[in-house]
């Protein structure tokens, strides 16, 4: 038999205060984001160990080389104290590299992280309003995601493989300026054509760099900030008169690849969460009442890669 094994620890909640600020991000016209102070960084971190070194634990119950998953959890917490970077991708690579340096019998790793977002509270300052440096609200909306593989070169050097960045759980609604019409119709079709409709979508956006080190090294000039991706997606959604969700995500993807030449791939997993119309005002047809639709919902996927 051939075997492939992996084991690890998932959803290790970790909160790091006073990390290195993210600075030097190249501004883009679609987003006001230029820096992040990183007073509080939070994430759920996963580690997955691959390779044959731990096979005896499966076949013979021999645990002598097994690093307990509880130890992995403690390791992530302890080593996060030494992290001197400013990005989620850099954080994951730092922890993964320390695993491979500490445990030489670990052959390969996959690290993944899902941001636990906190947003600075707006508080009075000098007659106006400013972001607090110590008080934060827990965010429950969209969040950054990342994953990275780690491997060893022949000389023992540890390097990143298949680094992926993303923004998950993005939800946006546009009350006018979208349509869905002229689609295929047959005896099963009941959906009316809608030349102008509100469009409510849930969307996960992913992207890959031509060089994974861009997201890990301290130089942020070519780093694609997650907040900028959100800003670009919102700008396109606001400006673009889409004929379908497929049309919309393709336009966002085209804009991302044009804006950031360092990206080689962008991807989308979108859901159609369009509300059901309940009532329309007799005096002003713009005034309407909607309700959440019944399940199920539509799913739309797209991957754009450079040649």
Three-state secondary-structure class, residue 277: strand
Q: Token pair of 100, please?
A: 């491979």
pLDDT score of 73: 98
Alpha helices per DSSP H over 42-186:
55-59, 69-80, 88-102
Spatial neighbors of 260 by CB under 8 A, at least 6 apart, are 207, 224
**Distance (Å, whole) CA 16 – CA 91:** 10
Q: Token pair of 49, please?
A: 């160990």
Looking only at the bridges linking them, the beta strands covering 276-280 and 288-291 are: antiparallel
Mean pLDDT by 10 residues, the chain (307 residues): 92 98 98 97 98 92 95 98 98 98 95 97 95 96 97 95 97 93 90 88 98 96 98 97 95 98 98 93 94 92 96
**Catalytic-role residue among 69, 217, 235, 288:** 69
Sorted by where each starts, the structural domains of the chain and their CATH numbers stand as 6-164 (3.10.270.10), 166-305 (3.10.270.10)
Q: Exposed, middle or buried, 43 (CB in 10 Å: 0-12/13-18/19+)?
A: buried
pLDDT score of 195: 86
- Does the annotation mark 69 as catalytic? yes
Q: Token pair of 163, please?
A: 């680094």
pLDDT score of 196: 87
- Does the annotation mark 26 as catalytic? no
**Distance (Å, whole) CA 27 – CA 32:** 7
The DSSP H or E segment spanning 247 is helix 245-259
**Distance (Å, whole) CA 45 – CA 96:** 11
| Residue given tokens 């080689």 in the structure block | 264
């Amino acid at each position: 038999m051939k075997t492939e094994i992996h084991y690890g620890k998932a959803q290790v909640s970790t909160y790091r205060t006073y990390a290195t600020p993210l600075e030097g991000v190249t501004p883009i016209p679609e987003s006001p984001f230029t820096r992040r102070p990183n007073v509080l960084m939070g994430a759920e971190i996963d580690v997955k160990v691959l390779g044959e070194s731990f096979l005896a634990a499966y076949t013979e119950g021999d645990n002598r080389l097994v690093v307990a998953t509880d130890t992995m959890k403690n390791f992530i917490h302890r080593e996060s104290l030494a992290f001197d970077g400013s990005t989620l991708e850099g954080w994951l690579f730092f922890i993964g590299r320390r695993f491979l340096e500490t445990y030489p019998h670990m052959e390969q790793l996959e690290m993944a992280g899902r941001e636990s977002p906190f947003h600075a509270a707006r508080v009075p300052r000098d007659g106006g309003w400013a972001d607090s440096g110590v008080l934060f609200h827990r965010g429950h909306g969209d969040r950054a995601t990342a994953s990275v593989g780690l491997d060893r070169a022949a000389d023992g050097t540890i390097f990143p493989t298949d680094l992926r960045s993303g923004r998950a759980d993005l939800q946006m609604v546009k009350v006018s300026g979208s349509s869905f019409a002229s689609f295929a119709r047959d005896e099963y079709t009941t959906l009316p054509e809608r030349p102008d409709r509100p469009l409510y979508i849930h969307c996960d956006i992913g992207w890959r760099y031509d060089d994974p080190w861009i997201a890990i090294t301290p130089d942020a000039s070519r780093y694609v900030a997650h907040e900028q991706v959100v800003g670009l997606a919102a700008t396109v959604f606001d400006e673009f008169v889409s004929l379908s969700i497929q049309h919309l995500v393709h336009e966002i993807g085209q804009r991302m690849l044009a804006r950031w030449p360092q990206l080689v791939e962008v991807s989308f997993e979108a859901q159609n969460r369009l509300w059901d119309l309940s009532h329309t005002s007799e005096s002003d047809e713009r005034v309407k009442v909607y309700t959440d639709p019944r399940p199920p919902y539509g799913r739309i996927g797209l991957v754009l890669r450079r040649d």
